[in-house]
Amino acid sequence: MTAFNSDRYAQKVRETLDLLAGISEPLARALGEGCEVVVHDLTNLDNSVYAIAGGVTGREVGAPPTNLLLQHVLSGAQGDVIGYPTSLPGGRTGRSSTIIIREPESGEAMAALCLNIDVTNVRMAHELLGSLLAPTPAVAEATAEADSGEVFPHTVSELTAQIVAEVIESADIPVELMKKSHKLEIVAELDRRGVFQVKEAVSGVASALDVTRYTIYNYINELQGRAPEGQS
């Protein structure tokens, strides 16, 4: 990409973000109480929240992306994700949609417009009606549907810690008993989830796995097929 094209792309990103930011507040008001509209700058994954209207998740401008948005973008997924269930802070139930805005010529993801709606009261009403109309309430089913695993971090360190904790827990073996092969698998999964695209992530991962930052870099190099700089 030439300097001219790079500058033109950056200008197009900023214009797109400003346009989305301008409609975020009136859109949130139009959707009503319990709705949140978030504009993400996908060229700045460390502090992607460019504008936010509504207080459903308690985040502010400068917050990082959610784990699902990060994974969705880095996986190269082309489509939008509409109407998926989420678990909001405070044990509330949400329903969210993520719309990816791409640069027309290159198809590169520039921004995301995300809608988060608190449907806790709707779910409670649904469960109440279900208990009145059905022999057995569908509470367990509704709860399972609401748990999508998406988290809404306020800081980059919080985002990293949440993803790392989830991956380590799925390994089903305590860190103190892990061998190098186990830790390599965890680093590989974290890499697939886009954790290392976020600055300072290596330090958090190293601390969680009880190794040095250099060991994590060596693991990454080894997974990428390059000769490691040293042994762990």
Task: Domain ranges for the chain, please list them.
Answer: 3-120, 158-223
pTM score, whole prediction:
0.67
Is pLDDT of 106 > 80? yes
Amino acid at 63: A
Q: What are the pLDDT digits (tens) for 158-179?
A: 888 888 888 988 888 888 888 9
How would you classify residue 76: left for phi > 0, otherwise alpha for psi between -120 and 50, otherwise beta? left
For range 222-227, the mean pLDDT? 73
φ, ψ dihedrals at 38, nearest 5°: -125, 135
pLDDT of the residue at 230: 47
Q: Mean pLDDT over residues 49-71, rounded?
A: 92
Question: In whole angstroms, what is the distance from residue 140 CA to residue 214 CA?
Answer: 45
pLDDT tens-place string over residues 201-211: 888 898 899 99
Identify the CATH class of 3-120: alpha beta
Could you report how far apart the first and last alpha carbons of the chain are, in Å? 38
